[in-house]
């Protein structure tokens, strides 16, 4: 089994937490939302999305329950927990520092 490297994995977690910070969503909607906001630049594959969701749920940062989706069919909706909200803030701060640092290097040299 191949594991995505840390940067990619951490970034996907951040994206999921960020998307869920607005409202609970099911897996499909999370993937679509990331795709839409990134102007189709980011395509989240099912193969990385669901393992990430399960991992985040196990960490206690998101929780899931089954509700009716917009089409009327039951879907598993994920929502952010209090711990998840704190985690999101931490991840955002980390991301801002990291991207700023990378930008500095890329632009200067």
Partner 1 sequence: MRWTTRAIVAFRSLFRRPRIERELDAELQFHLEQQIAENVAAGMSAAAARAAALRSLGSIAHVKEECRDSLGLRFLDELWQDLRYTGRTLIKAPTFALTAIVTLALGIGANTAIFSVVDGALLHPIPFPNPDRLVAVYGTSTYGDRNGISYPNVLDWQRQNQTFEDLAAWRLDTFTLTGRGRAEHLVGVMVSANLFSALQVHAMVGRTFRPDEDRRGVAPQAMIGEGLWVRRFGRDPQIIGQPLTLNGRVYTVIGVVPSILRLDRAGGSSFANDVFLPIGIYDDPLFLMRGSGGNTRVLARLKPGISLAQAQADMNVVAKNLANAFPESNRSVGVNVMMLEDDASAICAACSGRYSARSVSSC
**Residues near partner 1 (CB under 8 A):** 1, 26-28, 45-47, 50-52, 54-55, 58-60, 66, 69, 71, 73-76
Least distance CB 50 / partner 1 (angstroms) = 5
Interatomic CA distance for residues 79 and 28, integer angstroms = 14
Report the alpha-carbon angle 34-29-50, nearest 5.
Answer: 85
CB of 100 to partner 1, least distance (A): 29
Q: H or E element: which one contains 62?
A: strand 62-68
Q: What's the min distance (Å) between Cβ of 106 and partner 1?
A: 32
Distance CA 54, CA 68 (A): 20
Nearer to partner 1, 64 or 92 (CB): 64
């Amino acid at each position: 089994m191949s594991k995505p490297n840390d940067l990619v994995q951490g970034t996907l977690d951040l994206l999921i937490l960020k998307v869920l910070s607005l409202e609970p969503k099911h897996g499909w909607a999370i993937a679509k939302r990331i795709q839409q906001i990134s102007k189709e630049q980011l395509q989240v594959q099912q193969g990385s999305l669901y393992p990430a969701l399960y991992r985040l749920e196990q960490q206690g940062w998101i929780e899931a329950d089954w509700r009716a989706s917009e089409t009327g069919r039951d879907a598993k909706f994920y929502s952010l927990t209090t711990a998840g909200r704190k985690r999101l803030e931490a991840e955002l701060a980390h991301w801002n520092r990291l991207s700023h640092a990378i930008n500095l290097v890329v632009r200067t040299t």
